[in-house]
Amino acid sequence: MTSVGKQIRDARRAKGLTQDDLAKEMNVGRTVVSKWETANRLPDAETLLRLSRVLDYSFESESTLRASALTPGSGTLPDVPPQTASSEAPMTEVLLPEEVFDMGPSEDDAESAPEKKPGEKQHLPVILGLSLICALLVCLLLMTTQSGNHGQKYSYTSSDGEVYTMERFQTPAENLSGSAYLRVIPTLEINRGEHADFWNFEFQFHEINGAALSIDRVEQVYFVRGKENLEQMLTPADLLSAGLDDTIAAHGSWSLTGGLPIQDSAVGVGILLRATDENGTPLSFSSYLPLSMQ
């Protein structure tokens, strides 16, 4: 089923409207419309109803329930409208696939729950006993998890077969004389939504040695407690298809942004950028951002 973002974009284009035109009709900023169309922000039901009237389009109901996301390892980006050239750093935003996180039971699950029959025996002593045992097991599990998480190691094996731990992601690359060098600055903020809270993060890359680079690929890694690491690899073709530069100018900047729902199982995000500078020197730069509520 077509994503709601792509439906908004196609309906807007069918009406002959620009993103600015639609933003004025909806009384929002152009960047909001851009985020709708790239599935980085999902309009609520009331907004979607207004969009239906403005665009004279009936959206598919199931698509309104979720934003489109990248499938791990697919190397496919969501549709992004063409961007005009500007002096600002190019940005791309990637959402972690929502199936990684348990967002709670759906309304359908709640409706399908069996109802208690009048007069049905509850076996209260047995239930209380089992509940007490379960509570003790949960407490022991939490104590074990909390004590083990501090020393727990997470690692990622890159496409080149190199192993990156959290510590290695945080180790700055060597600044080689005569080669390009990227200083990486990660930032994190919390976005409180109507239906869910999200971490929004950004990795900024600043070239400081005065040498241009060509991006070979970008590998983004999500460390998730109790699950295998999830990774997404962006090739130059992926970047260009999303309207982004696959190069970083001398003393220029480039950034990668993303977001994911706040869950206890999320540990952190790692970024690994591989590039070749104008002298033909292969280089790699990495950074790690721990996810917290602070």
pLDDT tens digits, residue range 54-88?
998 887 644 333 433 333 333 333 333 443 333 34
Q: How many degrees, rounded to 5, is the angle at CA 8 between CA 107 and CA 74? A: 75
Any domain includes 209? yes
What is the predicted pLDDT for the residue at 153? Answer: 55
- 172 with 278, same domain: the answer is yes
Q: What is the CATH number of the domain that holds 228?
A: 2.60.40
Alpha carbon of residue 230 to chain centroid: 11
Q: In the chain, how many domains are there?
A: 2
The rounded distance, in Å, linking the Cα atoms of 247 and 276 is: 9
State the average pLDDT over residues 223-234.
Answer: 81
Any domain includes 81? no
Last-in-domain residue among 33, 52, 68: 68
Any domain includes 265? yes
Give this prediction's pTM. Answer: 0.51
What is the predicted pLDDT for the residue at 80? Answer: 36
What is the predicted pLDDT for the residue at 129? Answer: 56
Any domain includes 179? yes
What is the predicted pLDDT for the residue at 3? Answer: 78
Q: What is the CATH number of the domain that holds 51?
A: 1.10.260.40
The rounded distance, in Å, linking the Cα atoms of 259 and 70 is: 12
What is the predicted pLDDT for the residue at 98? Answer: 40
The rounded distance, in Å, linking the Cα atoms of 278 and 251 is: 13
Percent of the chain clearing pLDDT 90 (strictly above): 26
State the average pLDDT over residues 208-219.
Answer: 95
- Min mean pLDDT across 96-110, 241-255, 271-285 is at 96-110
Last-in-domain residue among 68, 96, 122: 68
**What are the backbone dihedrals phi and psi of residue 72, each rounded to the nearest 5 degrees, phi first?**
-55, 130
Any domain includes 130? no
Any domain includes 176? yes
- 63 with 168, same domain: the answer is no
Any domain includes 144? no
What is the predicted pLDDT for the residue at 271? Answer: 93
- 55 with 165, same domain: the answer is no
| Confidence class for position 235, pLDDT limits 50, 70, 90 | very high
What is the predicted pLDDT for the residue at 132? Answer: 56
H helices of the chain, in order, are: 4-14, 19-26, 30-37, 45-55, 107-111, 124-149, 166-169, 236-241
Domain membership of residue 166 as a residue range: 155-290
Last-in-domain residue among 35, 68, 101: 68
Any domain includes 75? no
| Confidence class for position 277, pLDDT limits 50, 70, 90 | very high
The rounded distance, in Å, linking the Cα atoms of 210 and 271 is: 23
- 46 with 168, same domain: the answer is no
- Min mean pLDDT across 43-47, 66-70, 180-184 is at 66-70
